[in-house]
A and B are shown apart, each in its own frame.
Chain A
Amino acid sequence: MMDDIQPTTDPARPKSPLRAWFDLRGRSLSTLAFALNRLTAIGLTVYLFLHLAVLSLLLRGPDGWDSFVRLARSPLFLTLDVVLLFGVVYHMFNGIRVALVGMGVANRQQKGLFYGLVGLAMVLFVVGAILIYTK
């Protein structure tokens, strides 16, 4: 039966997945949650590869690693850490909401779940950001 569904073309409005996912005009909170989840997922995937590249510096011995640690303590790098922390906590806590709702649990309360879980994530984010800048 799936074969019956064929893609259509629309000369007036060519398809744009990015616009479909990230155009928030006229959209509800749920789409903001959805778009942020996609954005943080892409960011975390990029970070994973960056992280592996950084770890490979260990192959160059102590000098290579020490110079990286000096760079990692710069204000710009710490800010990138804060951005990373946001991505991690948001994706993790919104992911719990998506997993629950996706299994049919509390789907009528999905906005409340968003406020609760992402609110908790933001508290952890703020605490973490303060620790990153002060410790």
Chain B
Amino acid sequence: MAEQLIDFKVFRYKQGQAAPTYETFQTLCDENTTVLVALQDIRHDQDGSLILRHSCHHASCGTCGMRINGKEELGCVVKVLELGTSTVTVEPMRNMPVISDLVVDMGPFYDRFNTVGMPFIRQSEFMDEAEIAEGLETYTRCENCIECNLCVSACPIMGSDETYIGPAALAATWRVVEEPRGLRTQPLLDWVDSENGCWRCHVAYECNAACPSEVYPGDKIMALRRDLTKRKFRGLFGRGRKD
């Protein structure tokens, strides 16, 4: 496939600026050019002040999350020409404050993860030596969360209530509840069994659609609800379980 000149309409914002603007850059892209590489080319050749965040270039680190043509994506795996548009709009993720251009403040995201504790090491189900833990039928892929924030960006509830715990931390909470490995789960369950916890989700399922790692946070939120409902019913009959 021949190279094509593509317009990139890029969100620009610097601290202290009254309002964000969009700036259009043109750059040549071939069939292998990803959005991240195109943005790096723009930064290198046209405007060194364009700020973006990235690291691994292969969907492992989760740092290059952005909105490409309005959709949450990892810039490193989206090929420009496969988008099929002559203009590619690139914006920072939603629901987190913009620091500069395409970079958002991930602090609120990690604060929530810190609460959960996240004691799990990622465990590939493809490793023969990875034994299935007692009580599990199979490993779910929640360990694969790459903490990219795309689910939080896509969630419409996060857009209207930022004190909502959010899909990523709720999914992580479920992973701990599902397999506590000696941790006390009750404090976590109390945390998510709240107005801004798992009951705040309104089942838009954008988190599932946005997740690049098949964590399916929406499913985990529903699993938390199911577990909490069971515990409440047991509690009604004096059989409440304290972990």
**Chain A residues near B (Cβ < 8 Å):** 1-2, 4-13, 15-17, 19-21, 25-28, 30-31, 33-35, 37, 98, 101-104, 107-108, 110
Contact = CB atoms under 8 A, between A and B. Distances in A.
B178 interface: no
A98 B204 CA distance: 9
Contact of A15 (B162, B222, B226): B162
Contact of A107 (B72, B95, B162, B222): B222
The contact size tier of chain B is 35 or more
Given A17-B160, A103-B225, A107-B222, A30 B97 contact: no
B77 interface: no
B51 interface: no
Interface stretch (B39-47, B108-116, B140-148): B108-116
B159 A2 contact: no
A31 B227 CA distance: 25
B202 interface: yes
11 contacts: A2-B196, A5-B162, A5-B163, A10-B96, A21-B160, A27-B206, A28-B205, A31-B205, A34-B202, A37-B202, A101-B203
Contacts of B72: 26
Given A5-B165, A8-B105, A28-B205, 16 more contacts: A1-B190, A2-B194, A5-B112, A5-B163, A5-B196, A17-B161, A20-B95, A20-B157, A28-B206, A30-B203, A31-B156, A34-B202, A35-B156, A98-B203, A101-B222, A102-B203
